[in-house]
Structure 1
Amino acid sequence: MIGIAICTHSDFAQGLCNAVEMIAGPQEQLTALNFMGDIGLEEYGEQLKKAAEGFSDGCIFVTDLENATPFNAALMAIAYTDNVILSGASMPLMLELVIKRAGEGYTPESLAREVLQSHCDAVSLKTSREVFGS
């Protein structure tokens, strides 16, 4: 099973992990790695790399913001591996990842690309005029 490591600022990662398990049930190979700002980029990157090494079929790192510390640490962790990073952590993204990763034949990259393609549909805009008219 492809592992998923949620890497975000503060305790968002743990909250997202908890919410995913509340909806989808307990998950194997799902971990939250909160970045609290109390360690440096390199040390956080080593923590992410170590977490990914525990996953049997590779890892998808899910970060909150592209080019921020969790993302940059994940870049360090994927160096010379087949692991990948998805930025823009959200419930719809996470639920789709945990559901689809149970399927056969995925690599971290193929799963991430498939989820990324459909993730745009998870964001919507509603205006009062559209919902209630005038």
Structure 2
Amino acid sequence: MISIIVTGHGRFASGLLGAVEQVFGPQAQAIAVDFPPELGTAELDAALNAAVTSLPAGSGVVFLTDLLGGSPFKLASQIALAQSQPCDVIAGSNMAMFAEVALERDEIASVGDFVERAQDAARAGVASLRERLARQQARASAQDDGL
């Protein structure tokens, strides 16, 4: 099973993991590492390294981060590049992404497949109510017109 480390500014990580667990139950091999304002980058780096070390080696690790280019992303990237096991970092994480890959981790063969599926889920999880209603109305109109 691919391990997941969620990290981000403030309480993003614990909030995201907590939300997924509230809806879908406890998640094995998933750790939240928060970066509150009172924590420095050295402490965050140590916490992320400790998280990687605490997880079983083998299937790989994926970091889910909040913001591309932020300190959590940069530190996770440095750690990922130093790993001997498959490892990657995804920025811009959201609940739809996390939920989908967390629930399907046993069926995902590689870190690369995991990342691809996560990115697809993230895009699919971002939607506009107004656009969705307009598409539904257009479909209903087409059906009424016999198209």
Q: TM-score, normalised by structure 2?
A: 0.79
Q: Which amino acid aligns with 2:63?
A: F
Does residue 123 (structure 1) correspond to residue 135 (structure 2)? The answer is no
Structure 1 residues 21 and 131: alpha-carbon distance in aligned structure 2, compared to 1, 3 A threshold: same
1:39-83 Cα distance to aligned partner (Å, 9 max, x none) = 332331232122112222221100010000110111121123221
**TM superposition shift of 1:22:** 1.1
Q: Which runs of 5+ in 2 are unaligned?
A: 138-147
3-state SS of paired residue (1:102): helix
Identity across the alignment (%): 26
2:43 aligns to what? 43
Q: Which runs of 5+ in 1 are unaligned?
A: none
1:101 aligns to what? 105
CA distance in 2, matches of 1:68, 1:131: 36
Point out the structure with max Rg over C-alpha. 2
Normalized per residue, which structure has more helix? Answer: 2
Count of matched residue pairs? 132
1:86 aligns to what? 90
Q: TM-score, normalised by structure 1?
A: 0.86
**TM superposition shift of 1:132:** 9.7
- Stretch moving more, 124-133 or 66-75: 124-133
CA distance in 2, matches of 1:34, 1:59: 17
2:115 aligns to what? 112
3-state SS of paired residue (1:33): strand
Asked whether the 8 Å contact 1:65–1:87 carries over to 2, the reply is yes
Structure 1 residues 16 and 118: alpha-carbon distance in aligned structure 2, compared to 1, 3 A threshold: closer
